[in-house]
Structure 1
């Protein structure tokens, strides 16, 4: 195949000689090649374009186009090849695939949906949608994603379900984050928004109309099964799921608590809204400050009708009553007003508690349905408290003597509890004796002896000193070797029948501590 330069030389030589054979001799090629390129130039075809040749699929091309049109461009090449073989086609399956691909490409060009750029107006449109969130403790979560059309400001709020109260609470928080509400809110045709379609016209949910009336917005729905009609929020959902849901592509670890997911959503919003948008070439957070004056104000109180029944948390215990059952709420809500509702049926029925604060309605607790007399309690709602068990007394000194005794250690505390349980007599005297012994034998040794006495139930007078003597390390030790033995000798038998001496014997090096000596020393 000749290059473009060679073809130009052939044409220039032909223009010079006007003869096919003379041109062939000058350029070193066949006169048939010269005739082909000259004919192509005279026909107006581009230089070096291959000549069109008949293909084996050309006789069946009308039938292929018919099949592609009937199947809306979805027919498979292998099925089309089987049909062509039945019609007498003798070509290969590769030729069939090439012909099907070319016809499909032409069909798509004729049926492509043309999108006109949407020129938005500040303060007019807010779109919201949902995405599957990560699992926390085996429970699936939902990502509520809102997209303000003009400024491209994105909001992501994690939810535990997609019920109407949860969606209304998320929208209220969304309006408060934006600093106002737009004119229109666009979403899907869910049951919480659209109950049915009559002749293609959506019938609105009454709760949604009450919510929209409260905030002064108009709720609209897109065309059914047409995500392109709200493509802005669809792209925002895709971006949020790619970043927040743990996957191999983002190396994000699983969330242990719902609070961690909320913090991750906050960090995600700060990141995407402070980054330059590829369309506007401006930061969405900066554009939001320009759009806020076009948003209308929202009521200070949220639309709480769908949140359930109002309850006031007592000032001394964070518990509320709903349908004869008691349920705990966080301790910081003492004296506050909350809303309680039931969600679901059967064994999985849940009680949801919502509190409306400065940032809007927030779910503060979720419990399983409980029966009367068995309150549903979450330990996190009672910080700094512990379950009181009968008999588990808190040892606290009330006098100086008691404080001095308890300062000996944990053994003294255990001795006090066990001695009191057994009804030991004159405990104050025995506690003072222990304090005195600690000054002689050391605090650690007396504390160990008190623990041993408590363990074996020895609370009589003199027991502590006896235990202390038994555990005191002696100054002399006796050991057997090749010259001496530990066997008792017979030298002591010589004293049998002899009168006892009157002089006082000198005590040995082993000192014995008794209650009498300690009392004398104390005096």
Structure 2
């Protein structure tokens, strides 16, 4: 019942109580006499029988109207059972073929009502509170700056105290994930016993039988810091709502009404906002400031290891003909004696360390900004583009087949330097044994060309991963170390005791009797 109708009823009742007749009330208020009679009768009925608050506040229900779609109800239900994603346009086309002469709007309304009636019941959200020091949740969320660049905001939240750490990076790679976890554990003052996250790259390699396959390096990191990894169900962000909610708060409070012109400005502001705003908010359950809750939870966290986990990424690079390695479009100089070889590069946020195949340090450089296309400074004398003799020596070290191939290639090519350099670079992707096999195949058909060797490798061999390359180098080191201490196979008789057991012990009295008999025999 709307307000105007209520005021009208009140005025009619008031005049009636004052003694005015129905005709006089109708004349004074501009109503029909029977309208006044109905109002007074309805008010008397309300007083005698009463009414619910819902009937009083909600509009009266209309009687269901006959629809043109009623005769097609069973057909529509059958179509939607078979094709749940059927659109209103397609449904209208099918109905038109069946003789329906209505329009699109009535079909769309009917389709929406049917889907609402047959929708799966929604699951009520249940807040789960854990014990202090038990769980943390972490995730990424991208935010766009004024210049169009994307900053990836990292959040790690302790489940009990809601203590939070925020950082921003330009990427979400695994080394960055590990580094930010170390920073978060340090900032929060300890390590929880369990970490919850979603199916992010660098943590989960894939799913099999509806179970996550964890990344091996992340598993090693978790073992180092002694926490269990728990992956939330796919497409269910509310499962880790304690870390999802802060991202909304960042958008509504930190980013709202502020303009950031650079990454540095955004990161400085985020650190300030975390200390002055985010950690001063009241806890949703206890209503105490988050800083107090975090101080109370810290004693329940596991202690940090004495030495932090080395989160640097490891990549392999080929030392080119100018004695440089290329990383993220930037060139870094390497000692010339390693020209044409493979080296390991440990990539940190600020520095690069280079190691040879024997894991001996051969260089260290300050990291240049990715994508800058610059060359690290060096006081070394600049050399020519290709040292053909040295490149040929590197290739000859792979064996007679490679040496013969390099000699013939040098004789047949006017500029053999790029070809030799290209063949040496192939060891980054394929094993040296596979490259030599491809060289032998190319020699058989007279294809003295670096691209020909690469095509043979692509067609006949499988590229190896970095882990396999490191394993090959480790096996070679073990062989060298054990060369002077070979492991010899034991004779099978050595294991006879394990199979049959020890021989039974003899009775000492029987042995003495045998000895006496033997002595008497010798005397006779």
> What is the TM-score of this pair, normalised by structure 1?
0.50
**Higher share in helix:** 2
> What is the TM-score of this pair, normalised by structure 2?
0.50
Larger Rg: 1
